[in-house]
A and B are shown apart, each in its own frame.
Chain A
Amino acid sequence: MRRIIAEDLDWSLATVSSLSNLCLQCIVNNFEEKPIYEELTSSEKDFIQNRVSLSLPLHFAANVFPDGVYWKRRCEQKWKVCDVSNYGESWKRMFFERQLENIIELFVPGITEPKTVLDMVTLCKDHIKKLNIAQLLPPVKEPQTEDEEQATELTLENEDDKSGMDHFDFRILLDKLTNLEELHLVYKVKSCGMNFEWSMFEMTNRDCESLAKALKSCKTLKLFRLHLSHLEDKKCRLLVKYLLDHPSLRTLDFSHNVIGDSGARAIGKLLTKSKLEILNLYDNNIGGPGAKAIAHALSKNTTLVSLNLCLNRLNDEGGQAICKALLNNKTLLHLQLGANGVTWLTALSLSSVLAQNNTLKSINLSCNTLGEVGGNALEEAMSHNTSVTECNIHLTDIEERKVSVINQMVWNNQFRKQETSPREKNTENAN
């Protein structure tokens, strides 16, 4: 003992790792050749997950390691910001989802082999629940250019060739992801810079068709969001046609598109047929007739909880139709009609709804010129209502005093609800 210490000044007992640790280290070093994992204890598994090389081939690691430290390490190695709470606290899910998103976002039709996606899908099909695709690249005509910027540059030149502008075909992907629940899509190109071209921010007809078929094939999808993609009436109708009988879709988001009245009519039909709970048509081009169609569907619907029609062109025609439909609807909780150019007429009909409907919770009428009459009517209605806890009437030309009165009433409602809800909870617990 003494001799050893004399020879090695840094020697100390603490640095001598135990035999088991050495064995585990050995396993770690030769993990790729001889993976020993399942037969170990949990602490030993942790040891291995903490130390095993991150450069292990994915197809190998995906089958060996369950969700845990290893995937955390891989995620943190790959991305700076990792918020696991958005992925159901599962590092593995996060890794695979983001990996697949990356692959799809960098997929260049015609150049990238679809096999790369399919390989990845075979590995991760059980783990993916949500796909948030922030860009979809258009194809490249000339094969010599490979990087993204050049590709977009080249597409500029070939803008006339519409048939060649198809994006990634989702049909090869969606029917294989058996656990997919959310799909966020944007047909756009990120940071295109001076190569801007409108066609970059559109989807083609064939894209639309393939996407619609893909969506139909994905039976587990609950949320579909297609925004900022210049969705027109025609394409909207096509998509809706394929979504009509979807068994699980609950949320549909077509915000920031250019859907007009005919698209709205199609969506109204969808409302009557499906079990949608949240419909978001924010920032579209829906006018009075489209709103009427939606209102007609709304008066019969019993599943929709939230309806967002902000930034459309409903005007009083559509607004009144929607409000009349609400007289027959007892399920809608959130209604947004902001910035729709409605006037006191709509306010009047809405106040008649508020006076007798006690299911609505939040209303948004901002950026509408309601005027004094509308303000009075709303004040009157709110004094009878107890359910509304949010009411946005900013910039509606109502007197400040009345706005504050209405706000106070809403505040009281909210507070009452806050107080009752824990009591209810308590009683429930007591029972």
Chain B
Amino acid sequence: MEEADKVHEEAPEPPVLSDNQEDKKGASSFKGKEDPTEEGNEELKTKMQEEKKDVNKRIMSLQKRLTTLVTNIQTAADAKEMERRSGMEDNCRIRDERLKNDAKACQEKVEEIRKGWSIVNQKVVHSELQSVLDSQQQLCAAVIEDKKKLIRDLQQERRVKEDQYLKNLRRLDEEIKLMLDRMQQQFQNLSKAYSEELTQLQGVYQQEIEVLLAKDKAKLDKHMKEHWDTELESLMERRRMVEESEKTVHDVMLENTTKIKLMQLEENAKSQARLREQQQMKGKSVVLNLKQLEHGNKNAAYNAKLEEMKGKILGTSKEVKNLKTKYAKQKDKFMKQRQYLSEVHKRSRQHYERMQKEVRYTTAADARKFEEMWVMMEEEVTQLAEKALAIDSLICKHLGLAWERPSAAFMESPGPRRSQEHDTNPNSHLLQTRHPSHCSQRMMDASVGPSLERDSEHSTGVEEGELSSETLMKVMELLCDETGFLVEDKLRKLLVPMEKNEQTIVKLHSLFAVLGLKEKDLPKLLHEFLLMYERQQGERTEGAEAMENSATADSTSRLIKPNYVLPTLRRFLEQHRKRSSSHQQSSLSHPARDTSVEEAYWDRLGNIITEEKLKLWDAAERELKQYEEVLMDISVLVPETELLRQQNTELRMQLQQILSMLNSLWLSAEGREKKSRTRKSRPSTTTSSITQCSL
């Protein structure tokens, strides 16, 4: 127990120690906290680690101390238990020994008593017996006394033990209380240490956090400042821009307002001018009125008139407005109308075109129809003529006259219309050429000749032009020079720097433009000149010998006299104009029919049967009529003969029947046959005559 107490006494010491240590540590840690801001992160970290280590050490030592305290208590308890056990064992041993001793003593005494009992048995004398009994009794009493004593001792012991146990219990109770107190204390100590540790750690971490915060804050401030600077700059810029834009906007607005004002002013001025004009007009009228009314009541009239005029002005202005609106309306209306009309016009034009097309088509169709009709008529007529001729020939034959076919070639040849058609169609023309016909040839010559001639002339002209291009050029130059008065001065100026050839070409162009000619007319013109040149040559043949000596180079001047140029040109122009106009006409209207030819043709057809022939025909008719009468008579007689013949055939049949039936009557039948044969011969002659008549 004392040891345990010692332990208990020892126990409170460690906390003090630890407190001291804690104080030291606290001081060191406080020292460490003074300059963390200047040092880097690593130092802080190392410091933190050291701190942690320290803390760990301290906590560990504290824990160990506390646990050792607990183990000490436990060991103390164990020790006490051990002590108790040994004590108990000792006690037991003592008790056992004592009990053994007691038992031994008892045994001895019991032996003694037993011996005594044997003596008692030996003794017979009462007194002796009495004494022995007494001694025995004493001995027994002694034994009992001993036992009682032992019991008392044991009880005593037990009581002591009980007291001890109670005390022990009480002490244990106290100890437990003490232990509880100590535990409480320890607990408090530990918690205190922990809390201190915690506060320290908190302080350290706080400082660290503060340092970090300060750093971060500085950084943030820096960044914010930069950011604000940039923002401010941008804001300033924006403000400047806004101001500029405001200014510009203001300027623009001002400009606009001034413009508007100016315009308004102009408008006002205009309106004022107009007003003024009006007023002037009014004034004039007023003056006139005044002059008129000068004789009468001037003032009143003037006033009245003024008002009237005002009213009138208003009225007129209204009227003007109305008129304007009306005008606008009218304009619109007219515009619409115009549009409508233009549409109508377009439509009508289209209609017209269509009509024209139709007309053209119809005319073409008419022409075709006409031609077809013509051809048909011609054919009919020729057929009729043929028929007439055939009849004529028949009549002649009948009359026994020699009939001559009048100009068969003419009959075979086609009409002028057809020949023309054939002419346009080369194939048919080729076919036509196989049958030579004088008439058509002649007609063709008459109709086509001039144009062919012209063509040939053209070709020759062109050929010549082509051949002698030099002369042509020269002719052209001459022409240009002579007609220079027709070319404008400006053109001439422009042409000065150009080459001669080009000059002439350009001049010719302008000349042609002036004269209203086309380029394709040029060869014709040249041809005209060449013709003239030939004529000149013809005139000049006499004097050619004399001119031979002169320069050959200037052939044109020699060949064509410049004086002739202008008259020839004029002539050509006239011709050209005529030609062009005729050409236009011919292109528009149908080609003119050659009526005379057709007339001749028709006449010839009509006179194909001559007067003499007609007379002959009349005579023949008369003859034939007479013959017809005779024939009629004959025809009356024919049925009779027919009848007779029939009878005859019937009779013959009968005869044959009879013959077949009666062979014997053969001869008679032959006789009858001869009769019928004679009868037959007569009618055959009559029929032949009739056929002749019909033919």
Contacts and interface: CB of A to CB of B under 8 A. Distances in A.
B56 A367 contact: no
A99 to B, nearest CB: 31
Contacts of A364: 71
Contacts of A418: 56, 60
Interface residues of B, number: 14
A394 B75 contact: yes
A366 interface: yes
A294 interface: no
Contacts of B79: 339, 366-367, 395
Contact of B81 (A311, A392, A411): A311
26 contacts: A310-B78, A311-B78, A311-B81, A311-B82, A339-B78, A339-B79, A339-B82, A366-B75, A366-B78, A366-B79, A367-B75, A367-B78, A367-B79, A392-B71, A394-B71, A394-B72, A394-B75, A394-B76, A395-B3, A395-B75, A395-B76, A395-B79, A411-B64, A414-B64, A415-B60, A418-B56
A283 B75 CA distance: 12
B57 interface: yes
A268 interface: no
Interface in B1-36: 3, 7
A341 interface: yes
Interface in A355-396: 364, 366-367, 392, 394-395
Report the 9 A-B pairs with minimum CB-CB distance, sorted nearest first.
Answer: A366-B75, A339-B78, A367-B79, A394-B75, A367-B78, A339-B82, A395-B79, A392-B71, A338-B78
A341 B56 contact: no
A43 to B, nearest CB: 35
A338 B75 contact: yes
A291 B81 CA distance: 20
A338 B76 CA distance: 11
A395 B57 CA distance: 27
Interface in A394-425: 394-395, 411, 414-415, 418
**Which of A310, A366, A418 lies at the interface centre, i.e. has the most chain B CB atoms within 10 A of its CB?**
A366
Contacts of B76: 394-395
B57 A339 contact: no
Given A392-B71, A394-B71, A395-B3, A414 B60 contact: yes
Nearest to B4: A395
Q: What's the dominant secondary structure at chain B's contact region?
A: helix
A392 B75 contact: yes
Which of A339, A392, A414 has the largest count of B CB atoms less than 10 A from its CB?
A339
A55 to B, nearest CB: 39
Contacts of B75: 338-339, 366-367, 392, 394-395
Interface residues of A, number: 16
Nearest to B56: A418
Contacts of A415: 57, 60
A321 B87 CA distance: 27
Nearest to B75: A366
A418 B61 CA distance: 12
A310 B79 CA distance: 11
A415 B54 CA distance: 12
A418 B54 CA distance: 12
A339 B71 contact: no
Given A394-B72, A414-B60, A415-B57, A341 B78 contact: no
Nearest to A282: B78
B17 to A, nearest CB: 13
Interface in B65-88: 71-72, 75-76, 78-79, 81-82
B85 to A, nearest CB: 9
Question: Which among A283, A310, A338, A394 has the highest number of chain B CB atoms within 10 Å?
Answer: A394
Nearest to B86: A341
A392 B64 CA distance: 12
Nearest to A407: B68
A366 B56 CA distance: 28
A338 B82 CA distance: 10
A418 B52 CA distance: 13
Contacts of B60: 414-415, 418
Given A395-B3, A414-B60, A341 B82 contact: yes
B569 to A, nearest CB: 119
Contact of A339 (B7, B64, B72, B81): B81
A338 B72 CA distance: 12
Interface in A61-99: none
B315 to A, nearest CB: 71
Nearest to A338: B78
A280 to B, nearest CB: 14
Contacts of B57: 415
Interface in A139-194: none
Nearest to B60: A418
Contacts of B3: 395
Contacts of A395: 3, 75-76, 79
Contacts of A311: 78, 81-82
Nearest to B52: A422
B432 to A, nearest CB: 119
Contacts of A341: 82
Nearest to B83: A367
A364 B82 CA distance: 15
Interface in A248-291: 283
A332 to B, nearest CB: 19
Nearest to A283: B81
Interface centre among B3, B72, B79 (most CB of A within 10 A): B79
A253 B376 CA distance: 155
Contacts of A339: 75, 78-79, 81-82
A339 B74 CA distance: 11
A250 to B, nearest CB: 24
A311 B64 CA distance: 23
B50 to A, nearest CB: 13
Interface string A333-347: 000001101000000
Contacts of A394: 7, 71-72, 75-76
A322 to B, nearest CB: 17
Contacts of B56: 418
A211 to B, nearest CB: 27
Nearest to A392: B71
A283 B71 CA distance: 16
Contacts of B72: 394
A311 B57 CA distance: 33
Contact of B82 (A367, A392, A411, A414): A367
Contacts of A392: 71, 75
Given A339-B81, A394-B75, A394-B76, 16 more contacts: A310-B78, A311-B82, A338-B78, A339-B75, A339-B82, A364-B71, A366-B71, A366-B75, A366-B78, A366-B79, A367-B78, A367-B79, A392-B71, A394-B72, A395-B79, A418-B56
A364 B71 CA distance: 10
A418 B59 CA distance: 12
Contacts of B64: 411, 414
A311 to B, nearest CB: 6
Nearest to A365: B75
* Residue among B56, B72, B75, B82 facing the most chain A CB atoms (10 A cut-off): B75
Contacts of A310: 78
B160 to A, nearest CB: 21
A395 B79 CA distance: 8
A394 B329 CA distance: 134
- Among B60, B64, B76, B82, the most chain A Cβ lie within 10 Å of the Cβ of B82
A411 B67 CA distance: 13
A394 B3 CA distance: 10
B129 to A, nearest CB: 48
Nearest to A411: B64
A430 to B, nearest CB: 17
B523 to A, nearest CB: 113
A392 B82 CA distance: 17
A310, A395, A411, A414: most-surrounded residue (chain B CB, <10 A)? A395
- Of B7, B57, B72, B78, chain A has the most CB atoms within 10 Å of the CB of B78
Interface string A87-124: 00000000000000000000000000000000000000
